[in-house]
Amino acid sequence: MSLLCPIDFRYGRREMKDLFTEEARLRRLLEVEAALARAHAKAGNIPAEAAREIAAKATTRHVSVDRVLEIEKETRHDVMAVVIALTEKCSGDAGKYVHLGATSNDISDTATALQLREAIRVLTSALRDLRKALAELARKHRTTLILGRTHGQAAVPMTFGLKIAAFASEVDRHIERLHESEARVVVGKMSGAVGTGAALGPKAGEIERAVMEDLGVGVEQASTQIVGRDRYAEFVTVLANLATSLDKFCTEVRNLQRTELGEVAEAFDAAGQVGSSTMAQKENPVTSENVCSLARIVRGLVIPAYENVPLWHERDLTNSASERIMLPHAAVLVDDMTAKTADVFRNLRVYPERMRANLEATKGQVMSEAVMIALVGKGMGRQEAHRLVRDAAMEARKRGVHLKEVLAANPTIKKLVSTKELDSAMDPERYLGRSAEIVDAIVARSVK
């Protein structure tokens, strides 16, 4: 069988992909039908033995994907095909109670809640692995000097550990967002065609609560025919936000691996990996580039997620097709990206000597702020100190000399700071502020 979608053969981890297969989807639909039968029996609406029979047969051991698809060709209705296939397998009178009082989305939306609950679990585990890789790298390089850059230009010294700790802190927030959103996202319904629960009878509320409690998902307090699609929009948006952070982390790797910087590099299998079909010397950051590329797809899924919220009246079908694509793709791709990003940072090659060389190549320019602060500490006004150091920096660049040479020759500076004090102010190791403290705090922090 030829495959069309790259997710089928190129992207995604097995654990996440298995949540969204046709058989996995059918299994969840059947779980909901079984829970509905049990709830009816508990409410006294159907015989207990009928509920037990429905639950016993509501598995993919009895109801196959092939049979459901065969029925769907005739009915042209996916959930009704499941209902008929399950009814066929039930002995005695049990079949006549299958799907009693329910509408299709009672079953399908609640099944989706079960899938999304598992997807959040898998994603949370992947994020914890990423956080662990980042925290370990930050700890290892808590004092490794690197040039901080703003606007793509040399700024002031920092540590590589601080850079990575900031990434770990961002991952913490994504773990929290997933955890916080779960109660709003993992929600089902059992309230009938337009949310009144009329077909379920006088114990409709009791039945709905029993079904959701049985399955371990939240209850849509006021539904239409469907669970509110703001919930799915939140889920996809949380994943798009996460994908964008992964894009950010991997973009930094790509930039730092540029030939002219050479401060880090992705792992590269020297024994057999090929960087280019023609440029034999190449070692490209291909995994990071892959993550950045997939992030564009995930962000693109946000638009259909929001378009699915404003449906006609109590519901139309314009959300259905896009959700079949949007939800699995968002979950599978972001999980894949998270695992790849963890692998990148777990095996990252770090070159501290190149970091130091790039910092020193600025000829002291990056210590301008430190000198300004030192002058303020000696009583000079902040604005005057800024102007003085700025002028010295511009002169040093124009002459191609080290900033300290110009500063040491300035009579105003010589009156305020000694040679030893100037040397201290221009020592990048002494101008790292709270870097190590911040790294230690983030490494030590634990999240839910």
Over the stretch 355-368, which tens digit does the pLDDT of each residue have?
999 999 999 999 99
Q: Are residues 302 and 269 in the same domain?
A: yes
Q: Are residues 306 and 338 in the same domain?
A: yes
Structurally, the chain folds into a number of domains equal to: 3
Query: How many whole angstroms separate alpha carbon 277 and alpha carbon 242?
Result: 33
Query: How many whole angstroms separate alpha carbon 4 and alpha carbon 432?
Result: 52
- Note down the domain range covering 373: 365-425
**List of the chain residues with pLDDT < 70:** 1, 447-448
Give the chain's radius of gyration (CA, Å): 30
Question: HSE (CB half, 13 Å, CA atoms) of 10?
Answer: 7
Q: Closest by alpha carbon to 334, among 297, 289, 287?
A: 297
- CATH classification at residue 395: 1.10.40.30
Q: Are residues 40 and 182 in the same domain?
A: no
Contact of 241 with 177, CB cutoff 8 Å: yes
Query: How many whole angstroms separate alpha carbon 163 and alpha carbon 249?
Result: 10
- CATH classification at residue 55: 1.10.275.10
Which of 77, 91, 179, 276 is labelled catalytic?
A: 276
Q: Looking at residue 281, what is its pLDDT?
A: 86
Q: Are residues 135 and 280 in the same domain?
A: yes
Q: Are residues 23 and 129 in the same domain?
A: no
Q: Are residues 243 and 191 in the same domain?
A: yes
Q: Are residues 305 and 377 in the same domain?
A: no
Q: Looking at residue 1, what is its pLDDT?
A: 64
The DSSP H or E segment spanning 350 is strand 349-350
Query: How many whole angstroms separate alpha carbon 77 and alpha carbon 80?
Result: 5
Annotation says 223 is catalytic: no
- Angle of helix 382-399 relative to helix 368-377, nearest 10 degrees, comes to 140
250-309: pLDDT as tens digits: 999 999 999 999 999 999 888 888 888 888 888 899 999 999 999 999 999 999 999 999
Residue 433 lies in a domain: no
Query: How many whole angstroms separate alpha carbon 103 and alpha carbon 199?
Result: 9
Q: Looking at residue 381, what is its pLDDT?
A: 96
Query: CB within 8 A of 51, min separation 6: which ones?
Result: 37, 38, 40, 41, 94, 97
- CATH classification at residue 348: 1.20.200.10
Annotation says 368 is catalytic: no
Contact of 57 with 84, CB cutoff 8 Å: no
Q: Looking at residue 270, what is its pLDDT?
A: 80
Q: Are residues 146 and 264 in the same domain?
A: yes
Is the pTM value of this prediction over 0.85? yes
Residue 30 lies in a domain: yes
Length of the chain: 448
Q: Are residues 82 and 113 in the same domain?
A: no
- Using CA atoms, how far residue 199 sits from 34, 102, 107, 264, 391, in Å, is 18, 7, 14, 63, 81
Which of 2, 151, 277, 418 is labelled catalytic?
A: 151
Q: Are residues 90 and 211 in the same domain?
A: no
Q: Looking at residue 9, what is its pLDDT?
A: 86
Q: Closest by alpha carbon to 188, among 280, 262, 112, 283?
A: 112
